[in-house]
Amino acid sequence: MCFANATAVLVGALKEFSMRFVRHAVLTILLLAAAATIVVVVMLRGGGLAANQEPGRVERSVARRLVQLSIPADAHQQQNPFSRDPDAWRQAREHYLDHCAVCHGNDGKGQTDVGRNMYPRVPDLTSSEVQNRGDGALFYIIQNGVRWTGMPAWKGEHSPDDTWKLVSFVRKAPTLTDVDIKGSEPAAPVHPPGPHKHRH
């Protein structure tokens, strides 16, 4: 009889504790949601969605973490099949200059009219933040893009080999020279404006 009473008391206490815990948890979530709503409203009223403002440290940290979480775990394990080919990046150069340089710049540093005015800013491909990413992560980002940024998905335009060669170009970015960017092709002849005389 005493054991049954003790069990009943214990069960009652557990139920009361559970109800109190749930009630406190719900109140905490509601308070956090209300606080977050107030912060968002204040940011919006203060021009918080304007693209001409630099993101704060917290926003940058959250954005980096979200990008990291968006990349599947198996992608991090992938290796560039062209990593041992010292000229693979050259095969991606024209493609990069045609498709990517408008935002990332010819040298990969993102200092273009478009890159400087995007929000978040276009990443500097020569930076440690980009270079420390694995080959597979870079491949995934190029193929699938990044939501809520200006980075489009190129899977429909690039073959996997094209994208891996672009990864090689990104790896080359920190040491690119003007000669590397321009290539060794002879320049097209430049004629002064006006009529030209031709011999026949």
Q: Report pLDDT digits (tens) over 27-54.
A: 788 877 887 677 656 665 665 566 667 6
Locate the domains of the chain by residue range: 1-48, 73-182
For residues 21 and 144, the model is more confident at 144
pLDDT band at 199 (very low <50, low <70, confident <90, very high): very low
Residue bearing the bigger pLDDT, 95 or 20: 95
Q: How far apart are the first and last CA of the chain?
A: 122
Place of tokens 């214990």: 10
Has residue 191 got a pLDDT over 50? no
Domain 73-182, CATH among 1.10.760.10, 3.40.920.10, 3.40.50.1820, 1.10.1240.10: 1.10.760.10
Q: What is the pLDDT of residue 193?
A: 45
Q: What letter would DSSP give residue 121?
A: P
Q: How far apart are CA 104 and CA 111, in angstroms?
A: 7
The pTM assigned to this predicted structure is 0.66
Nearest-angstrom CA–CA distance, 125 and 11: 60
- pLDDT tens for each residue of 52-106: 676 777 777 777 777 888 899 999 899 999 999 999 999 999 999 999 999 999 9
CB atoms within 10 A of CB 69: 8
Q: What pLDDT does residue 2 have?
A: 61
Q: Chain centroid to CA 65: how far?
A: 10
Name the nearest CA neighbour of 58 among 30, 33, 31, 39.
Answer: 39
Q: How far apart are CA 137 and CA 76, in angstroms?
A: 5
Give the pLDDT confidence score for residue 192 in this predicted structure. Answer: 43
SS3 assignment, position 46: coil
Q: How far is residue 177's CA from residue 180's CA, in Å, rounded to a whole number?
A: 5
The dihedrals phi and psi of 196, each to the nearest 5 degrees, come to: -115, 140
Higher pLDDT, 11 or 123: 123
Residues 110 and 162: their CA atoms lie apart, in Å, by 21
Split at pLDDT 50, 70, 90, the class of 194 is very low
